[in-house]
Amino acid sequence: MRMGKYELGRTIGHGSFGKVKFAINVENGQPFALKVLDKSKIIDLKFTHQVYENDFESIDFEVI
């Protein structure tokens, strides 16, 4: 599956809020792990604040 400049591969992990997919930036060939969050689970469980604190504050990442 392709999303813009990213080619998504197999699922390499999963958790309470979503999965982690293997991905490649097709422009430069750089491989990386992409965390795909299930927005409905986060909102339904009212964990929005916790998810942002735990997953986003201390990581250098690009939001796609």
The residue that leads in pLDDT, 16 or 1, is 1
Query: What is the domain partition of the chain in residue ranges?
Result: 2-56
Binding site for ATP, residues? Answer: 35
pLDDT at position 3: 86
pLDDT digits (tens, 9 = 90+) for 9-64: 999 999 877 899 999 999 999 999 988 888 777 676 666 555 555 555 555 656 56
For the structural domain made of 2-56, what CATH number should be given?
Answer: 3.30.200.20
Q: Contact, 53 vs 25, CB < 8 A?
A: no
pTM recorded for the entire structure: 0.62
Q: Contact, 17 vs 42, CB < 8 A?
A: yes
Residue 54 to residue 62: CA distance in whole angstroms? 16
DSSP-derived 3-state class of residue 45: coil
Binding site, residues? Answer: 35
